[in-house]
Structures are given as C-alpha cells and as structure tokens.
Structure 1
Amino acid sequence: MTDQTTQVKRRRVFHIPGYDPIHPRRYRELYRTESAAQAVISGYEIDVQARSSDKTFGWTVNANIDGADVAARVDVLVWSDIVRDSMAQSIPATYWQLVQTAWIYISTGTLRRLMWMRKGPVIAALYPVGMLLLQLFAAVVIGRVIGGAAQGALLWLGALTGTGLIAEVIGWVAWGPKYLLWAGITIALLRWFKKKDNKLFAYYLMHDYAFSARSYGAIPPALEGRMKEFGDTIAEAFSGNVDEVLVVGHSSGAHLAVSVLADLIREGRVPADGPKLAFLSLGQVVPMVSFLPRARRLRTDLAFLSTQNLLTWVDVTAPGDGCCFALCDPVGVTGVSPPGKHWPLVISAAFTQSLTPARWKALRWRFFRLHFQYLCAFDQPKDYDYFQITAGPVTLQDRYADRPPSKSRIDVAASKYTSVMPL
C-alpha cells in the first residue's frame, strides 16, 4: 500500500479490445465473473455494475482491497461493428484475401523477420492460411470422389443395357452429374466449414491479419475516427475527480492505444499536475503491424511514447500465450528506440507459475482462451493481478516502481522498416 497522498480512491479505466466482432458486453461479463473468482482467491471484495452511456459502453466497479475502498469506471472502445463489416466477405473473397495477405507479409520480408523473435504468433498467423487451404483441398477431393462415384454408377448402368446407342449416350451423359456433384459438394462443404468457424477460427484469424495488412500497416480511416472520439473521452477524464487514468490495450488493441495516447500527449491534453496516466498493454501483437512498410504512424508513436514522463507504460505478456509476441519490447524490436527511451517496462504474467499445474494443464492447448488470460483470474497470482490494477488502491506507477524488466525480454531491432513520420 502506498501512502495516503498517492492512494487511488477513484480511477477511470479505458479498455481498447483487439479485433473482436462480439459486442463489448462480453468484456463486462468477463470482468464480472473473473473478478468475483479472483476476489475469492485473493481475499478482497469487488462488485461490478452495468452502466449505460450514449458515447461508450462500460461498467462501474466498487472494491475493497487491502482495506481501502476504491471506485472505478470502465469505458470500452467500441469498434466491433468495424470488425464485423471487415469480416463480411464471401468465401471466394476470403480466399483472395488469403493470397493478398500472404503476399504482403512474404514479399515485404516481414514474415521472415517476425520469425526471428517468436515462432508462436507466426504459427498463429500461418494457421488460418493452412486451415483454409486444407478445407479447400478436403472439399475439392470429397466432391471429386462423390462425383466420380456417381459417374461410375451411371456407366455401370449403361453397361447393363449392352453396347448399343443407349450405353453410349449414358456414357456421355454421365459426365454431367459428375461435375455438377463435384461443384455442388465442394461449395456445400466450404459453406459448412465457414459455419463451424466459431470452433476453427480460420476465417476469423484470416480477416484479423488481413485487416492491417491490406493497408500495409496504416490505420484504416473508419478506425482512425473511432480512436479520435475515444481519445476525446479519455481527455475529459483528466478534468474529473479521479486519481488515475488507466488505459488498457489488449492484443491488437495495444497498438491502437499507443497511437491514441501519443496523440493526447502531443496535443497537450495530458496535464502534468492532473491524475496519473498509466498504460497497460496486454498480450500485444505490435510487430505484426509495426513491421509493415506503411506503419510509419505507429512507429512514430512507439518512439514518442517510449520517452514520455507523463505516463507509466507496463507491457505484460507471457511465453505461454502463443498468440502474442511474448517479452518482445515493441519499441526495441521495431527498431525505433530513441535516446532517452525508458518505456515500456516489459514483464511476464508467468502463466506456468501464476496458474496451478492443474489449471495450466487444462488451459495449455486452448490457445485463444490463453490469449485472454490477462483479463482473467489466476489461482496462484504473483505480482500481476488485473483486478487489483484496475480496481485496487495502488497506481500502476507505484505497483511496479521497483520491478525490474524480465531477463528474457527481447529488444534487438528486427524490423526491415524503421521509417517514421517527420516531426
């Protein structure tokens, strides 16, 4: 516990989710259920209530942690509609998207450089390519086998009639059903695979990687506008009666948060004598975007934010999360570390230590669930507790003031593209 002058009694939390087509209410329900579980494990009290707003979606939290009462308001950047629109692709369009995205990452050399750091997220990126190609192969082969079987049956019937004109006609006619069945079954199977994507995630991940790749790393205009509006909402929080303004960026939401915060500081909208500003990036995949040739805005914002004294930036990942660039300093690996860089503090959530062996065994192969573990309860937590960070009495700055960075962090420049925007 910090002394009374730095203790948090009121906090504003701004959550920026990753590429997710589901309405943010899922994050409220996740917070409600997982905070209750963590409260039982860690011995504190926490209560979550829904909150409605015309501008954002969120909830309120009242907690008693370490004997201190804390009130927090959580607002979520809503861009699930933009995600859904980007996913509204036909099956042929998705396969064309696969070709385009693979070409962008391979032709620019980005894929090879990403593999220098962590194989896990690269494998995750290749998964939808392999799965979609496997689905196409399976559909074509099964369609051909059934179509060929139908042709064979008709030819057999023709043979029973003898060797006359009827048999010859049937032989020619048999080609039609073969190709009609082949095409029909292939299409039907591809549609079936797409309907099962809530379990396979091939289409979802393909659209995810294509979303940033199609603009070679530049932020799409529709999302840029949404980020500006959310930035305005964050700026308003500094004039309120709060002790800390905490911005949380999860997954691809981490690089969106970098740009939102960089804009706020550059525009002078973060008062030096106001509430503490903190940035918590979780399970980030920043290199997937910052390594692309046109991601100059993001690279500029990374370099800028890494030197700022107006905020505390803690980056939390875990080697057990195969969907993130675990312990990779997003500024360092992008190759834009400027003089005076002191952010982010790169630490590990250490899933294998903060989860009991039984719990880790149950989650180990559930890759997408593990990618959300940062927002969930740990049954034997170490120094990372999402709910104490968002609803506890200690600022992010004080909580990790004496925490050294992970010894396993990777901060060697790996990106081919390091250009930034002119100052």
Structure 2
Amino acid sequence: MSGKPVAKRLVFHIGGYDPITSHVDAQRRFVREIARFQRTWSVKATVDGLHDTADEIRWNVTTTGPDWLVETDYRLVRWHDVIETFGDRSNGSRISVGILTLLDFVLAGTLWRYLQINWRYALFFLYPFVMFGLLMAAAILIGLLAFKITGSIPVAAAGGLFGVAAVLAGPWRWLHLGDLFDDWIFSREYIRFGNSEIEQRLERVATELVAAASNSAADEILVIGHSLGAVLAVDLLDRALKQDPDPGRNQIPVTFLSVGSSILKVGLHPKATRFRATMERVAKSRAIFWGDYQALVDPLNFYKSRPMAEMGLSTENEATVRVVRFSRMLDDHIYRRIRLNFFRLHGQFVSGNDKRASYDYFMLTCGPISAKLQTLAPDGAVPMIADDGGLIASAPLSEGELPSRPGAAA
C-alpha cells in the first residue's frame, strides 16, 4: 500500500433547504444511514458525543476496518432557523413574493439559461408555480360552477374561497409547495441582497475552519455542501480564504465537495455577481481541491455540467466533475420504489448505499481514503477496500498514482 490512510478527519457539512427541526432528528438520520454503510463495506461505526451549538450540531464518528481506524469530527452547520423564518411568513406573503420571484427569474433570462444547460432543472423551477396555478384555476372553477348552479354571486364567491382554502389546507402542504416557494424566495433574496444572519454564522464557522487548518490533528478537512448548501459552502470557504489565503500550508489538505449542487441555480442569475466572484476566488485557490458530484436522474441538480464554464468564469482550476448513477448504488427494489420520488432521489447524495459504488457519502466523510483521492479515482474507493473492509495493499493511495485532475469526467 502506498500513501497514508486518513486517521482523523474534520467535516463541515452544509445541507440543502431542509428544515431539520432538532439536533436529535439530524443525528438519528445520520445513524440510520451509516448503518447501511457498515453493511455495504463490511466495516463498523459508532456515533457519539452529540453537542448542539448556535452555529453547528456536532458529533463524533469512529469507523473501523480490519487494519484501519478513522475518527471523524462531524459538524453540521445549522441554518434551519433561517429556513423556519421564511416558513413562518403568512401564505399571502409567500405567494405574492413567490410570484415576484418567478417573474424575476423569467425576466432576467435565468429560466432560459436553465433550459439551455439542463431542461430537467428548468422543470423543477417551474413545478411549484405551475402546480399552484393549476390548483388556483381549480378553485376558480369551483366558484364558476357554484354560480352556474345557483346563479348567486355570493354563493360563487364563497365557493371560490372554499376552493382556495382547500388548496392551502391540502395540496399546498402535501406537495410541499410552501417549502418550494420559500426555497426560491430565499435564493432570490440571497442573490440580490444576501442574508446577514447566514453571513454572520458562516464568518464564525470560517474562523473555526481556519483555526482547525492551523492547529488540528486532522489528516483532512472536508467541506461538503448538498443542494443549496453547496452555495453556502462556497461562501464559507471564501470567508476562510479571506482570513487565511493559504489554509493548507500546515499540510492539512482542504477538500470541497459539492454534491447534487445548486451552484448554477444561483450562479446563472445575471444579478449573482457577488456569488460568481466568490466562486471564482474559491476555485482559483490552490489550497482547496474541488470535486462536484452530479446525477442524471436527479432533476434538482445540473447533470453533466461544468459549473465554472457555464457561469462564464475561468476554467483554469475548475471542479473535478464526477457523474454518479443511483441505480448502481441501491438495491433494485429500492431504486424502483424511489426513482419517481425526486426529493428522495436528491437525498441519496447524503444517504447510505446498498452497493459499493464510486460515490458513497459515508466513505467520503468517514472512510480511510481521503475524499480528494476518492474523487480523483475513476471508481472511488471501490478498488481500494477489500471484501472484509480492509485496505487493499496494491491500491493507489497517493495522488501521483491517479490521473491528473480533469475538468469533467464521466
């Protein structure tokens, strides 16, 4: 075996627009999914030391194989409180601002850019607004039908109001339209105005990251952003670079992974100049390795895209793009059950696998091979881990034995 396996890792994870309401729920989901990781890779894992702060939810993970042990300091950066403030707005406010957001993205040409790069993502953007429009049309039809039957305007108005109330009480919640409206409303506000609460939090977490890069015993610092969390992860790394332009000088490598990313969701908007400048600074940093994981069947990410090129930015040091296939990560019956549930598919980026595959969230965050090397290796950790969970002696564990960093890879 060449190279040195990871023994200690520090992970900062920023999730997508997902209102996790308690630290208990967040850790429970992690523990449930890491159990699948243990079965798939023939390893053992323990999760303990839950600690809840204003900025993060932390716990410790110890994973072991026959000839290795990894201790992971896992930190989930909180922002569900910000998400909840958007959800606490009245439905009238959410609907009116949501329609304004729709017009903003359409008139600015962002929807057209989505269509050019990934039509599935354009449909995802349109889905909540079109669905809401159809439901409102149904409510109006109820009022018209009431008028046709009774000839009474008051009865027709009451019927229409009943239809609207039924929509807000039922499909609005069942179809998660409120959360989807809020997701796009937040994105528009972040693009145009920023979000002071999130920015202050990311500044504090960036200080932790810089301190860890200087003083930590970790072999690797991993910043991983899922969905819209990838946008905030870029923001976090940029703030860390402003505090310390070379966080890896103490030989602790810093890896950034964007998985199921919404970077282009924000970056393609003409007004996102601040974010694009942030993205360019992070991408150009030689202290940070960036890997971007995408999936075809997930309409909530940009499949087979080159983020820097699509935003019109320099591709000199762009992401290493890896395309993953969920069908090769899951048991057949599970994949068939969830393949039309797009939110569940999107969540597979941060869930456990049933099969060994080139992408495995828990192998990247808790495994003995660095996330950078797993991303560079065409088959990830698969050829490096034996059937019994041990390290394979002949596996390439040094960067020099792997292909040079590509701009985009299949």
Equivalences, count: 380
Q: How far 1:29 sits from its partner (Å)? A: 2.1
Residues in 1 aligned to 2:153 and 2:373: alpha-carbon distance in whole angstroms: 75
Asked if 1 retains the 8 angstrom alpha-carbon contact of 2:6 and 2:219, the reply is yes
Give yes or no for the alignment of 1:41 onto 2:65.
no
Whether 2:260 is the aligned partner of 1:272: answer: no
1:50-69 aligned at under 5 Å gives the runs: 50-55=49-54, 56-65=56-65, 67-69=67-69
Aligned to 1:7: 5
**What do residues 154-191 of structure 1 show as CA deviations (whole Å, max 9, x unaligned)?**
xxxxxxxxxxxxxxxxxxxx544x14522541342133
Q: 1:407 to 1:220 in 2, by over 3 A?
A: closer
Match of 1:242 in 2: 218
- Shift in alpha-carbon separation, 1:120–1:50, aligned structure 2, 3 A: farther
Instruction: Give CA-to-partner distance per residue, 1:198-252, whole Å, 9 cap, x none.
Output: x302121111012121454442222211211221222232212211111110000
Does 2:340 correspond to 1:365? yes
Verify the 8 A CA contact 1:132 1:203 in the aligned structure 2. no
Partner of residue 86, structure 1: 86
Q: Against the structure 1 CA distance between its residues 271 and 406, is the aligned structure 2 distance closer, same or farther, given a 3 Å change threshold?
A: closer
Is the contact made by 2:224 and 2:258 (CA closer than 8 Å) also made in structure 1? yes
Taking the TM superposition and a 5 Å limit, the aligned residue runs for 1:65-76 are 65=65, 67-76=67-76
Q: How does 1:77-156 map to 2 (within 5 A)?
A: 77-146=77-146, 148-149=148-149, 151=150
C-alpha separation in 2, matches of 1:229 and 1:147: 59
Name the amino acid aligned to 1:30: R
CA distance in 1, matches of 2:157, 2:193: 43
- The answer as to whether partners of 1:2 and 1:394 remain within 8 angstroms in 2 is no
- Shift in alpha-carbon separation, 1:392–1:135, aligned structure 2, 3 A: same
- Give the AA of the match of 1:363: I
Q: Is the 8 A contact 1:218 1:297 kept in 2?
A: no
Between the aligned partners of 2:249 and 2:409, the Cα distance in structure 1 is 33
Residues 250 and 329 (structure 1 numbering): CA distance in 2 closer, same or farther, change over 3 Å? same
- Superposed CA offset, 1:120-176 (max 9, x none): 111111000011111211222224434554x36xxxxxxxxxxxxxxxxxxxxx544
Q: What letter matches 2:7 in structure 1?
A: K
Shift of 1:16: 0.6
- Within 2, Cα distance between the matches of 1:307 and 1:24? 36
In structure 1, which of residues 19, 22, 35 is the aligned counterpart of residue 20 of structure 2? Answer: 22
Q: Is the 8 A contact 1:24 1:78 kept in 2?
A: no
Moved more, 288-297 or 7-16: 288-297
Shift of 1:60: 1.1
CA distance in 2, matches of 1:192, 1:12: 43
Moved more, 10-19 or 88-97: 88-97
Conservation of the 8 A alpha-carbon contact between 1:101 and 1:214: no
Corresponding position: 1:385 with 2:360 = yes
CA contact (8 A) 1:59 1:73 kept: yes
Q: Per-residue deviation at 1:406?
A: 8.4
Partner of 1:260: 236
Q: Secondary structure of the equivalent of 1:96?
A: helix
2:276 aligned with 1:299 = yes
**Cα distance change on mapping 1:408 and 1:7 into 2, 3 Å:** closer
Q: Does the CA-based 8 Å contact 1:65-1:388 persist in structure 2? A: no
- Residue aligned with 2:104, SS: helix
Indicate the structure (1 or 2) with the bigger Cα radius of gyration.
1
Q: Which runs of 5+ in 2 are unaligned?
A: 379-402
Q: Distance in 1 between matches of 2:375 and 2:187?
A: 32
TM-score (normalizing by structure 1): 0.83
Distance in structure 1 (CA, Å) of the matches to 2:193 and 2:322: 28
Letter paired with 1:241: A
* Distance change in 2, residues 1:285/1:33 (3 Å): same
Match of 2:292 among 308, 311, 315: 315
- Give the TM-score normalised by the residue count of structure 2: 0.86
Preserved contact between residue 210 and residue 244 of structure 2 (Cα < 8 Å): no
For residue 89 of structure 1, report the CA deviation from its aligned partner: 2.7
Cα 1:50–1:135 change in 2 (3 A) is: farther
8 Å Cα contact 1:287/1:330 also seen in 2: yes
CA distance in 1, matches of 2:278, 2:345: 28
Using the TM superposition, give the Cα deviation of residue 43 of structure 1 relative to its aligned residue in structure 2, in angstroms.
0.7
What amino acid sits opposite 1:22 in the alignment? I
Structure 1 stretch 23-32 or stretch 305-314: which is displaced more?
23-32
